[in-house]
C-alpha cells in the first residue's frame, strides 16, 4: 500500500486542479491520497469524485495555518467536518488576512521591482487561499526571476524585508478546533528549520496533551537529525508517525509518493476519526 497524506491543488498554492492531482496520484501508483490545501476545503468535492472514479482512496484534509507565539506552524487536519462552523470561521479569517498580507507584501516589493496586485490576481486565479507562491509566480511572469524557488530565496523568505505576517490561530486553539470538528490533527513538517524557526520539544509535548494525533516525521524538509529527533518524540508522546510528499505540482520539486505513511499509521489515524 502506498499512502501519501499531504498534497496541494490550485485551491491553494499547488499547480494542478484537485481532479488533476488525483489523476497524478493514481499514475504515481498511490493507493490512498489526502488533499490538504492551505486553509480551505474547496477542493474536496472535485477530488473525492475523481478519486472515486479512479478507485483511489481519498482523505479530505486541510493544512491549517497556525502559530506558536511568533513561530509559524502548519497543522494538517484529516476528516474534519467541512460544515463545522467554528473551524470554518478560523479558516475564513485566515484566508481573508492572507489577502491583505499579500497586498502589503506586493506594495513593499513594488518599491524595488515592477509588480502590481493585478499580476498576483492573474496568477492566483480562482484559488481560495492566496499565498507567497502566487506572488512568486507573478514575479516569474514579470521576468524578474526564473522560478518560484529563486523568488523565495531572493524576495519572499521569512527573514526578508518584504515579508509580512498574517493572522493565524494559536496552534493549541487550532488543534482543539480540529478535534471539535471531528478531525485528526497532525503537525506538518515540524522540523523544517530551513523555512524558519521550529518549535522546541516542549511545545510538541504540550500539543500532545491538547489533542495532537501525529507528527509528519518523513518529509523532504527534514534532515536525518530531525527525523531521528521527531521519531523519538513521537514514540515518547504516543504520536503517530506519518510521511508525505507535500506535493505542489510543478510549483516545487516534491514528487508524489516520495515519502509515505505506513498502513499501521494510517489505520491509527482512521481510528481517531470522530
Residue 246 engages Zn ion in binding (rule: CB under 5 A): yes
> In the beta sheet, which residues pair with residue 231?
none
* Closest CB to ligand AMP among residues 31, 221: 221
Task: Tell me the C-alpha distance between 223 and 158, whole Å.
Answer: 20
Site for ligand AMP in 239-258 (CB under 6 A): 248, 251-252
Q: Is 42 in the site for Zn ion (CB under 5 A)?
A: no
Q: In 10 A of CB 112, how many CB atoms?
A: 11
Sign of the dihedral defined by the CA atoms of residues 264, 265, 266, 267, in that order: positive
Q: What 8-state DSSP symbol labels residue 154?
A: I
Cell 497524506 identifies what position? 5
Q: Is 144 in the site for ligand AMP (CB under 6 A)?
A: no
**In whole angstroms, what separates CA 117 from the centre of its chain?**
24
Any contact of residue 4 with Zn ion (CB under 5 A)? no
Instruction: Please identify, among the stretches 60-68, 144-152, 204-212, 261-269, the one whose residues bind Zn ion according to the rule CB under 5 A.
Output: 60-68
Hey, what's the torsion of the CAs at 159, 216, 181, 195, to 10 degrees? Answer: 10
Enumerate residues 164-223 that contact ligand AMP by CB under 6 A: none
Q: Does 131 bind ligand AMP (CB under 6 A)?
A: yes
CB of 24 to ligand AMP, least distance (A): 17
Place of cell 502590481: 116
Hey, how many other C-beta atoms are within 10 angstroms of the C-beta on 197? 13
Residue 15 binding target from Fe ion, ligand AMP, Zn ion, none, CB below 5 to 8 Å by type: none
Of 89-97, 130-138, 207-215, 257-265, the segment contacting ligand AMP by CB under 6 A is: 130-138
Contact partner at residue 152 from Zn ion, ligand AMP, Fe ion, none, CB < 5 to 8 Å by partner kind: ligand AMP
Q: Please name the helix (run of DSSP H) or strand (run of DSSP E) that holds residue 33, with its range, or none.
A: strand 32-38
Q: In angstroms, how far is the first alpha carbon of the chain from the final one?
A: 24
User: Binder to ligand AMP among 4, 13, 42, 84 (CB under 6 A)?
Assistant: 13
Contacts of 160 (CB under 8 A, 6+ apart): none
Confirm if 245 and 4 have CB atoms less than 8 A apart: yes
From candidates 3, 16, 73, 74, binder to Fe ion by CB under 5 A: 74
Answer with the entry of Zn ion, Fe ion, ligand AMP, none that 149 interacts with (C-beta below 5 to 8 A by kind). Answer: ligand AMP
| β-pair partners for 78 | 61, 184
Please identify, among the stretches 28-36, 122-130, 139-147, 183-191, the one whose residues bind Fe ion according to the rule CB under 5 A.
Answer: 183-191
Spatial contact of 77 and 185, defined as CB atoms under 8 Å apart = yes
Span from 102-110, 184-192, 203-211, 218-226 in contact with Fe ion (CB under 5 A): 184-192
> If binding is defined by CB under 5 A, does position 13 make contact with Fe ion?
yes
Q: Which residues bind Zn ion (CB under 5 A)?
A: 63, 246
Q: Which residues bind Fe ion (CB under 5 A)?
A: 13, 74, 188
Contact set with ligand AMP (CB under 6 A): 13, 38, 131-133, 148-149, 152, 248, 251-252
Amino acid at each position: 500500500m502506498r499512502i501519501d497524506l499531504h498534497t496541494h491543488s490550485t485551491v491553494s498554492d499547488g499547480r494542478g486542479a484537485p481532479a488533476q492531482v488525483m489523476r497524478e496520484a493514481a499514475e504515481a501508483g498511490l493507493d490512498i491520497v489526502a488533499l490538504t490545501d492551505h486553509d480551505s476545503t474547496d477542493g474536496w468535492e472535485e477530488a473525492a469524485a475523481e478519486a472515486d472514479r479512479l478507485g483511489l482512496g481519498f482523505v479530505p484534509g486541510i493544512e491549517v495555518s497556525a502559530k506558536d507565539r511568533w513561530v509559524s506552524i502548519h497543522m494538517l487536519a484529516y476528516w474534519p467536518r467541512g460544515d463545522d462552523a467554528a473551524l470554518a470561521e478560523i479558516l475564513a479569517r485566515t484566508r481573508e488576512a492572507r489577502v491583505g498580507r499579500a497586498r502589503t507584501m506586493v506594495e513593499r516589493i513594488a518599491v524595488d521591482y515592477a509588480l502590481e496586485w493585478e499580476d498576483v490576481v492573474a496568477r492566483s486565479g480562482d484559488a481560495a487561499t492566496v499565498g507567497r507562491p502566487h506572488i512568486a509566480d507573478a514575479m516569474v511572469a514579470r521576468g524578474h526571476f526564473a522560478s518560484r524557488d529563486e523568488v523565495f530565496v531572493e524576495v519572499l523568505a521569512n527573514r526578508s524585508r518584504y515579508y509580512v505576517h498574517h493572522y493565524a490561530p494559536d496552534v493549541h486553539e487550532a488543534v482543539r478546533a480540529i478535534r471539535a470538528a471531528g478531525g485528526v490533527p497532525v503537525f506538518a513538517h515540524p522540523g523544517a528549520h530551513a523555512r524558519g524557526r521550529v518549535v522546541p520539544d516542549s511545545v510538541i509535548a504540550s500539543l500532545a496533551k491538547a489533542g495532537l494525533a501525529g507528527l509528519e516525521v518523513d518529509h523532504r524538509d527534514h534532515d536525518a537529525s530531525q527525523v531521528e529527533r521527531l521519531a523519538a518524540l513521537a514514540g515518547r508522546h504516543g504520536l503517530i508517525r506519518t510521511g508525505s510528499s507535500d506535493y505542489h505540482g510543478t510549483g516545487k520539486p516534491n514528487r508524489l509518493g516520495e515519502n509515505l505513511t505506513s498502513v499501521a499509521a494510517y489505520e491509527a489515524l482512521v481510528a481517531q476519526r470522530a
